[in-house]
Amino acid sequence: MSNRMWGGRFASGPAEIMEEINASIGFDKRLAPQDIRGSLAHVAMLGKAGILPSADVATIEDGLKAVREEIEGGGFVFKRELEDIHMSVESRLTEIVGTAAGRLHTARSRNDQVATDMKLWVRDTLDSLDAQAADLQQALAEKALQHAATVMPGFTHLQSAQPVTFGHHCLAYVEMLARDRGRFRDARARLNECPLGAAALAGTSFPIDRHATAEALGFDRPTANSLDSVADRDFALEALAAASICAVHLSRFAEELVVWTSAQFNFVKLSDGYTTGSSIMPQKRNPDAAELVRAKSGRVIGALTGLLIVMKGLPLAYSKDMQEDKEGTFDALQALSLCLAAMTGMVRDLEPNADVLARAAGSGYATATDLADWLVRELGLPFREAHHVTGRLVGAASAKGIGLEELSLLEMQEAEPRITDTVYAVLGVENSVSSRTSYGGTAPDNVRTQATRWLALLKAPSASA
């Protein structure tokens, strides 16, 4: 049998493999709520514009609501021969209300329909990702406030660099997430133009009211060019790009958690809720959730790359290639949502090992810069020379296998005779962090101020990104 929806000029139906490669219903059925919402807006507009008689409009509206109930109730049977969600809904509508259903597709096409459905789905998803990222910011800002003065080593090249505070480290991710949220919001604002009514590619000769459908669906305005409306998926690309950047942020933090929870570092403890045991090694406590957050960034970036490649060679307007936008976009944005939720859980339960962190913060000559700064401040040495003197002292201490603070004053004075015993104060880790009071620096007072500022912003959501 040829296709009921478009088979007029076909003598026979598609080959089995054709049907398999062509069908998207297996994955676009999740667009059912958006599809029905779009159809309800479209048919109401057709009625108001006098294109359809109001009796048909009412019949179609009731029918669409009945279809929606069937889908929500799980009683709807999806059939591969109906290809996609658009034809599945319309076909069932025909079964329920009869010939009036055939009038729904007046002045539209699956091309503007699918673009509208996808935009609605991506828009909702961006909103919920934004809210989830805010939850993670909240969890991080709370940890930051609690640990504003908990010292830990700061790294560059994964070598001990200068001491920082645990709270400062948490707030670094709060800032990254703020930019991620800004990107989600930017993407949302740019996508919020309604393609419905662009029809197949050229617009329509019916006197439709595109402003009305745009408004009914919560869009700011209708898209201004019918070709562009059905031909681009930049809104999905932009969402995936924003998601990829966020996933990379989460992945870096996840990597830190994996390293920090190793026995060799032992910087933090993850809760039982976010770790697993080993079936053979009883001592193990594996950071699987963090590892999976790190790994899932791969599929998010993969979806972005995949869709960029799908789109790059397509002439205007619609090509069936664009049906391949869905699985990757759905999968990637869902994966990011799961990662945000898992990270939020891990952070809430996370306990830094303050003693271990303090010991580690002082090792590796992490206060060498403080010593150099002291030489500049107290003795007026040019920084380059102070750097050199400090280097000699680090060399002397390391040759003896001791810390800088364990060198005697005499040993210090061999490198620079004017050094006095007030130098020892800056060699302490606590002193080092509390001296970093420059704006954005790691001093506990700064961290407290920033954490408090974030917690207040997060309480007033409209101002928080």
Just list the catalytic residues: 157, 278
Which lies closer to ligand ARG via its Cβ, residue 117 or residue 142?
117
The DSSP code sequence of 157-168 is TTEEEEEEEHHH
Of 162, 166, 172, residue with least CA distance to 149 = 166
From the CB of 88, what's the least distance to ligand ARG, in Å?
Answer: 10
Q: Tell me which residue has tokens 């999740």.
A: 30
- Bridge partners of 352, per DSSP, are 268
Which lies closer to ligand ARG via its Cβ, residue 67 or residue 164?
67
From the CB of 28, what's the least distance to ligand ARG, in Å?
Answer: 6
Q: Which residue ranges make up the site for ligand ARG (CB under 6 A)?
A: 24, 28, 84, 110-111, 114, 318, 320, 322-323
From the CB of 331, what's the least distance to ligand ARG, in Å?
Answer: 15
From the CB of 226, what's the least distance to ligand ARG, in Å?
Answer: 14
- Bridge partners of 163, per DSSP, are 153
Q: Tell me which residue has tokens 């645990």.
A: 166
Measured CA to CA in angstroms, residue 429 lies from 137, 268, 351, 360, 433 at distances of 27, 19, 21, 10, 6
The DSSP code sequence of 351-397 is EE-HHHHHHHHHSTTTTHHHHHHHHHHHH---HHHHHHHHHHHHHHH
Which lies closer to ligand ARG via its Cβ, residue 86 or residue 183?
86
From the CB of 326, what's the least distance to ligand ARG, in Å?
Answer: 6
Tokens standing for residue 138: 């909240």
Helix (H, G, I), strand (E, B) or coil at 276: strand
From the CB of 143, what's the least distance to ligand ARG, in Å?
Answer: 43
From the CB of 114, what's the least distance to ligand ARG, in Å?
Answer: 4
Which lies closer to ligand ARG via its Cβ, residue 165 or residue 323?
323
Residue 420 contacts residue 117 (beta carbons within 8 Å): no
Burial class for 254, CB neighbours closer than 10 Å (0-12, 13-18, 19+): buried
Which lies closer to ligand ARG via its Cβ, residue 82 or residue 339?
82
d(CA 338, CA 243): 12
User: Which stretch of DSSP H or E encloses residue 43?
Assistant: helix 32-48
Burial pattern 137-169, b for ≥16 Cβ within 10 A else e, equals bbbbbbbbbebbbbbbbbbeeeebbbbbbbbbb
Which lies closer to ligand ARG via its Cβ, residue 106 or residue 452?
106
Which lies closer to ligand ARG via its Cβ, residue 28 or residue 238?
28
